Amino acid sequence: ELTAYHEAGHALVGVFTPGNDPLHKVTIIPRGRALGVTMNLPERDKYSETKTEMKAKLSMMFGGRVAEELIFGKEHITSGASNDILQATQKARAMVVEWGMSELLGPLRYSENEEDVFLGRSVTQRKSMSDETAKLIDKEIRNFIDEAENHARKVLKKNIKHLHSLAKALLEFETLSGDDVQQLIKKGKIKNKDDHNNKSSGIKTSLPTHNSGKKSKNKVGGGLNPKPALS
């Protein structure tokens, strides 16, 4: 349930924040170390990002953590947003120190060139900025992060009804397409989802069928196909 609300938070902030790529899929089926995935894909090849697009992505990254907080309370937020926080911090830092998107610090590069990093360099390298500038950088990174988190909270509070319905749909169907989510938002239900799930959709199963009227060609094991592995 927590994963469903987490991914629903990502998806809704992405949908309702201009600048994000279109929602492709949201799922609560674990992938690797991730308990769920919200996937956005661009409509065409992209070679750069605008400041608006970057800020939109930052907000979407915090949609999961904010959803956990709104539904379960601050004391029950989890470590599930660790990678979201890492990516958001890295992007916000790059916006400030590499891409000149801080109005306070201007179009200057403050990060070191890391192409020739070798063991011991951190001890001998020359200091490239004052303590005052370093504090300003930290402040600007914090401003980008706070703005993103506050925007995500505003979006989800405004669309709390959609948050509940999307989380409920994820618990029922586990995986939803971008079109499914749009239908849920606009019409309150997903058209033909039940019929779609009840059909085989071309997916083969190793479970034996009943009353098929056909005899199995392979008589090994009493004619039953191997059972699927349980995970």
CB within 8 Å of 149: residues ≥ 6 apart: 59, 62, 65, 66
Which residue numbers are catalytic? 7
Whole-angstrom CA distances from 106 to 51, 117, 150 are: 14, 26, 24
| Cβ-based neighbour number of residue 132 at 10 Å | 8
* Structure tokens given for 67: 């959803």
Answer yes or no: are the C-beta atoms of 33 and 52 closer than 8 Å: no
Q: Which helix (H) or strand (E) holds 157?
A: helix 131-158
If you write DSSP's letter for every residue of 66-113 in order, what string do you get? HHHHHHH-GGG--GGGHHHHHHHHHHHHHHHHTS---TTT-S---S--
What distance in Å separates the CA atoms of residue 144 and residue 131, rounded to the nearest whole number? Answer: 20
Q: Which secondary-structure segment (H or E) carries 57?
A: helix 51-61
Distance CA 195, CA 193 (A): 5
3-state secondary structure of 220: helix
Beta bridge partners of 31: 34
